Structure 1
Amino acid sequence: MDDAIAGGEGRGADAGIRAWLLALAMLALAWLPSALVVAALAAAALAWGPRWAVAGPFVLLAAGAVRAAREHGRLPGRAVEPEAEQELTALVRGVAERLGFREPLLVRVVPEVQASLGPARVAGARAYVLLLGLPLLRGLTEAQLASVVAHELGHRQHLGDRRMTLLRFARGTLADRLDRRVRPLAPLAAPLLRASQPLMWRAELAADADAVHVAGSAACAQALRRTAVLHAAFEGLGGTWWSALAEEGACPADFYDALDTALADPHVAARAARVAAEEDALDPYAASGHPPVTTRIAALPAGPGEPPGTYRDTPLVLRDAAALARWCVAELAGVDGEPTDAASVPPGRKPDRYDGPRPVRLLELDAERLHGLHDDTGLTLLLYATRQEEPAPALVAALDTVADGSWPRLARRLEPGLRWMPSAVRPDIARRAFAGALAAALAPLLRDSGWTYPSRWLNSVLTSPDGTTLDLQELAWEAVADPGPLRALLAAPNTRTQPAA
């Protein structure tokens, strides 16, 4: 086990006192700016305004607290009725029994790649709500899903006491304060988050051990890898679809079917795995409550695995899968009910923005239309940043900045938000922005030279006329360290360095 995890909690009462102190310190720091603003407003009202105005800032704080309490009381997701989804209900119930979880438990489905357990009051009684993302229900096998459920139910024991609940809340509150352009609290917040992170990681690894007890180490490791890939594809490729179609007043009605189909493409799966690994490494303030996936897999206890026949190696049967998918698409689209089809609009009236987004079926689009959904702003930004009018000279100019070491300056022109990012992650984000722009500029040149798309889902994976397949994102990423291969590709006889006539 990692030394930081093994030594982070300490033993006995000292560990408990340390956790309380860290939580209180983080909450005090997180609320310090608000307290200073309220104090300044109260002092100003006391000095220059009527005495009753002193209550104004405190009324605003109370109103915010009431609003937050109301929002917290709303249960997210769509309820799973035991009679409607018997297989899912039986799986959750079986995992709960094996872990000795005897609290009232509600299961609700959410649209995102998510799994979490939280307390709630239902009809005045205390209960727990287990949120499961539809991509997990569709994309994991029964054994993998059982490991995810066991991990979340394990949090009741490892993160459910008041000390850990307060610590988790304090860390989340302080981390939210750092997710802004200006972060004056960062110098003080980072040491507190770093000191408290091993406590959270230790609890997560303990929940992983519970998952191994239920589903076996192989299923747990597979679930960890698969969940990371699903999340990267959902946010990356899925986000691209939603963003592009939203500009057209549309939404992907078959979003989940298309995502499943895309992830069956090895190029998409490899890209998602690489992006997931990159994201896992970005934690500048030690704000993440989860260890990296590689750390979690390495720490899984060895075990004989689940009893044969307990869980199948196929996805769980969802009896109302189509209705769940329609509900989740509507949630992501931000509409009540389902997206409006143009055919459902009364005769004589054209669809308008009040009808909600128009449903589009991604699986019915041709490859050219799908490729057109990808964002091409990387090429536009590179042309602007290099002051060139065509992709080939823009690429040459960009590679020249690698040779003279000035490419980070060009990256800042490509991604102006870099200046506001934490210094610890700035180099990686700069390299990612730079590589993305290079790949976006290289793709049309290769396409004009006869290269083709081996995947209908990605624009930056191309196959040459001789059958060589390249991931342009990886090639461009490596070009920051060694631009030679990319320069050689540009200089190849079969690569057009000018746009087609």
Structure 2
Amino acid sequence: MGATLRALRALVLLCGFYLLSLVLLAALAALDAAAFGWAPAAVAGKIAIVSLLLAVPIVRGMVMLRTPKGEGPAGIVVTEADEPRLWALVRELAAATGTAAPDTIVLTGDVNAAVSEEPRLLGLRPGPRRLYLGVPLLTGLTEARLRAVLAHEYGHFTGGDTRLSALVVRGRAQIGRTVGHFHAKADSKEAAERARQQQTAARRTAKGRKAKEIDTAGAGFTYRMMAAVYTAYAKLYMRATLSTARAQEYAADLAAARIAGRDATASALREIPVLAAAHGFYLESYATLGLPARRLPPRGQFFGGFGRMLTARAAELARLREKLPTQPASPYDSHPPIADRVARVEELPADGRGAEDGGPALALLTDPARTLAALEDEVLTDEVRQFERAPGWEPLLDSSMAVGLANLDTPLHRALAFHTQALPTLPALLTVIDEGQLWQLAQRLPLSEEAAAAKAEEFRERVRPVLRDSLQSMVLAEFSARSLLHWEFSWSRPAAARLPGSASDLDGEAGTEAALGAAVDAALADHPDTAPLRALLPPAPQPA
């Protein structure tokens, strides 16, 4: 089947999505008519109410299938006057691919580039077009690779079946969005019902009456039932359009290779999944590091630190580029495996256009530092933007780790609290050890079946690693509470703890500080001795 016929089939199936809704509404109307014609009035009224409840999500689904105007990721809208070099590149590539340049460029905070339209007549008529371009993508790509990425995006709109092929992609996204809305509505109904029942239970308890068990099984039932019907149809649509969507990705790759170069395109395909993984790690480990302490990195560094991490971890990222995914993300993923796409591009003749041509893509921006700062204002929530700005990354790390250690809650903490029926503090744990009850306490830890069944020496060997990690954390928390602990920040490896007067780190590659390690080992020995550990601990503050 040719591309045009496959796209036409997708159009028919998309129209069938609306037809399915109309058929369901007609069936409900027929049921109501039969009920009022043959059933008693009371029964007919109940059937009509149920039909109405079922009809509401169906009608909502038909409305949901339309893409809301202006929907898209948050970001900065930049004009040609703001970013002349970026706009010049975008217009050049649009002309080279034979498609219209976007009407708007939006700089976003994710690792992505996408072109969207606000289509008319189910996408048969074009509408205003937007280019969403992630600043982290610009941070990690060279200009040559960025050209390949943009040429790929525009490649989705080339060829004789341009409009219908684009419709396939839009249809897949819109149907998935519709099903998602049904589930979201059902979850909302369930949450509201749970809150109502909890309030009722609280009132009954306050009056000394027994509260009923919370039961939300029926909440959102009509929405979940409609979601099941539409999900079945969505799977049919996804399967029918999968070959079209993946063929379009291959065609867009070839367009990118023709315009931006074979090597640049293959390199960009290798780079995108690596950058996506690296950016997820950066957000979790660096950018949001201070959120528990309600602190943010210095202004502009929430996104700006990503480039510094990429530079520091260059060798690690190079190894990731050699491990390309060989399977699609899901059976319905419109993108073929990256390894297959790279192999197809690299089979093309060499053209002499390299992946390193043109320098870093971030340099296309007129003032990258200003853009990185302005992006925070658009992407971060109102609440987060009110957080205090740390003067640097090391103070941010120190405050974050201090909050984390102050709220430490390990399995050992929970077992100790149960064992002593008191606050789980380090002095309390040392007292338990001195009283010879350490291994009875260890019995209260979450244990594997093997550990729970082990006896004497074997049991101690199995639980000692867990005890060691938790005890060391409790020691660090004690130093932190006395403001005697410092954390060494690094872009290339995990943070390292520094005790007063220490020359080596506790958690980094150099290993644990010998004195603390020996003291912890002594406390957890078969015949425990807490004296070395007590000698290392800072004295408790004296009351004023």
CA distance in 2, matches of 1:172, 1:468: 44
Equivalent in 147, 154, 164 of residue 168 of structure 2: 164
Match of 1:314 in 2: 360
After superposition, the Cα gap between the structure-2 partners of 1:70 and 1:227, relative to the gap in structure 1 and judged at 3 Å, is: closer
CA distance in 1, matches of 2:119, 2:43: 41
Aligned-partner SS, 1:108: strand
After superposition, the Cα gap between the structure-2 partners of 1:303 and 1:96, relative to the gap in structure 1 and judged at 3 Å, is: farther
Q: Are 1:249 and 2:294 counterparts?
A: yes
Offset of residue 154 of structure 1: 0.8
1:15-49 CA-to-partner distances (Å, cap 9, x unmatched) read 44554466567x479979x969x959x96999326
After superposition, the Cα gap between the structure-2 partners of 1:50 and 1:19, relative to the gap in structure 1 and judged at 3 Å, is: closer
After superposition, the Cα gap between the structure-2 partners of 1:165 and 1:274, relative to the gap in structure 1 and judged at 3 Å, is: closer
Match of 2:111 in 1: 113
CA distance in 2, matches of 1:51, 1:370: 58
Match of 2:253 in 1: 208
1:353-407 CA-to-partner distances (Å, cap 9, x unmatched) read xxx333335535365456668899998479879x9999x9999999995989x9x
- The RMSD of aligned alpha carbons is 5.9
Offset of residue 204 of structure 1: 0.9
1:429-451 CA-to-partner distances (Å, cap 9, x unmatched) read xxxxxxxx999879969999xxx
CA distance in 1, matches of 2:10, 2:126: 29
Q: How many aligned positions are there?
A: 418
User: Retained in 2: the 8 A contact 1:115–1:131?
Assistant: yes
Offset of residue 467 of structure 1: 13
After superposition, the Cα gap between the structure-2 partners of 1:156 and 1:53, relative to the gap in structure 1 and judged at 3 Å, is: same
Offset of residue 206 of structure 1: 1.2
CA distance in 2, matches of 1:52, 1:249: 49
Q: Are 1:149 and 2:150 counterparts?
A: yes
Paired letter, 2:86: L
After superposition, the Cα gap between the structure-2 partners of 1:207 and 1:282, relative to the gap in structure 1 and judged at 3 Å, is: closer
After superposition, the Cα gap between the structure-2 partners of 1:232 and 1:28, relative to the gap in structure 1 and judged at 3 Å, is: farther
CA distance in 1, matches of 2:251, 2:353: 21
Q: Are 1:135 and 2:181 counterparts?
A: no
Equivalent in 297, 300, 311 of residue 342 of structure 2: 297
Q: Are 1:227 and 2:272 counterparts?
A: yes
User: Retained in 2: the 8 A contact 1:118–1:129?
Assistant: yes
CA distance in 2, matches of 1:147, 1:62: 42
Gaps of 5+ in 1: 1-9, 340-355, 407-436, 473-492
Gaps of 5+ in 2: 36-41, 188-223, 427-437, 454-465, 478-486, 498-502, 512-516, 525-532, 535-544
Paired letter, 2:164: D
Paired letter, 2:168: M
User: Mean Cα displacement is larger for which, 127-136 or 366-375?
Assistant: 366-375
Q: Are 1:47 and 2:44 counterparts?
A: yes
After superposition, the Cα gap between the structure-2 partners of 1:360 and 1:78, relative to the gap in structure 1 and judged at 3 Å, is: same
CA distance in 2, matches of 1:242, 1:321: 18
Match of 2:69 in 1: 72
Equivalent in 363, 376, 381 of residue 393 of structure 2: 363
User: Retained in 2: the 8 A contact 1:443–1:459?
Assistant: no
Paired letter, 2:249: E
Paired letter, 2:248: A
Equivalent in 299, 315, 323 of residue 370 of structure 2: 323
Aligned-partner SS, 2:128: strand
Match of 1:421 in 2: none
Paired letter, 1:141: T
User: Mean Cα displacement is larger for which, 392-401 or 74-83?
Assistant: 392-401
Aligned-partner SS, 1:204: helix
CA distance in 2, matches of 1:164, 1:273: 35
Paired letter, 2:387: P
User: Retained in 2: the 8 A contact 1:460–1:471?
Assistant: no
CA distance in 1, matches of 2:261, 2:443: 52
CA distance in 1, matches of 2:279, 2:375: 13
After superposition, the Cα gap between the structure-2 partners of 1:168 and 1:64, relative to the gap in structure 1 and judged at 3 Å, is: closer
After superposition, the Cα gap between the structure-2 partners of 1:384 and 1:184, relative to the gap in structure 1 and judged at 3 Å, is: farther
After superposition, the Cα gap between the structure-2 partners of 1:442 and 1:197, relative to the gap in structure 1 and judged at 3 Å, is: farther
CA distance in 2, matches of 1:292, 1:439: 43
Aligned-partner SS, 1:156: coil
Match of 1:333 in 2: 380
Match of 1:84 in 2: 82
CA distance in 2, matches of 1:30, 1:282: 30
CA distance in 1, matches of 2:266, 2:496: 28
Paired letter, 2:247: R
User: Retained in 2: the 8 A contact 1:395–1:441?
Assistant: no
1:176-222 CA-to-partner distances (Å, cap 9, x unmatched) read 48988999577886676455433222211211111111222222232
Paired letter, 1:78: I
Match of 2:311 in 1: 264
Aligned-partner SS, 2:382: coil
After superposition, the Cα gap between the structure-2 partners of 1:461 and 1:86, relative to the gap in structure 1 and judged at 3 Å, is: same
After superposition, the Cα gap between the structure-2 partners of 1:184 and 1:56, relative to the gap in structure 1 and judged at 3 Å, is: closer
CA distance in 2, matches of 1:21, 1:395: 65
Offset of residue 175 of structure 1: 7.3
Q: TM-score, normalised by structure 2?
A: 0.57
CA distance in 1, matches of 2:317, 2:145: 22
User: Retained in 2: the 8 A contact 1:256–1:325?
Assistant: yes
CA distance in 1, matches of 2:510, 2:103: 45
Aligned-partner SS, 1:200: helix
After superposition, the Cα gap between the structure-2 partners of 1:397 and 1:91, relative to the gap in structure 1 and judged at 3 Å, is: farther
Aligned-partner SS, 1:101: coil
Offset of residue 13 of structure 1: 6.5
CA distance in 2, matches of 1:271, 1:397: 42
CA distance in 2, matches of 1:24, 1:213: 35
After superposition, the Cα gap between the structure-2 partners of 1:260 and 1:377, relative to the gap in structure 1 and judged at 3 Å, is: farther
After superposition, the Cα gap between the structure-2 partners of 1:19 and 1:282, relative to the gap in structure 1 and judged at 3 Å, is: closer
Offset of residue 85 of structure 1: 0.9
Q: TM-score, normalised by structure 1?
A: 0.61
User: Retained in 2: the 8 A contact 1:232–1:275?
Assistant: no
1:119-145 CA-to-partner distances (Å, cap 9, x unmatched) read 1389x9933211101111222111011
User: Retained in 2: the 8 A contact 1:142–1:314?
Assistant: yes
Paired letter, 1:115: A
Paired letter, 1:11: G
Name the larger-Rg structure.
2
After superposition, the Cα gap between the structure-2 partners of 1:441 and 1:310, relative to the gap in structure 1 and judged at 3 Å, is: closer
CA distance in 1, matches of 2:319, 2:183: 25
1:239-276 CA-to-partner distances (Å, cap 9, x unmatched) read 45565534433434321121221222228x73797699
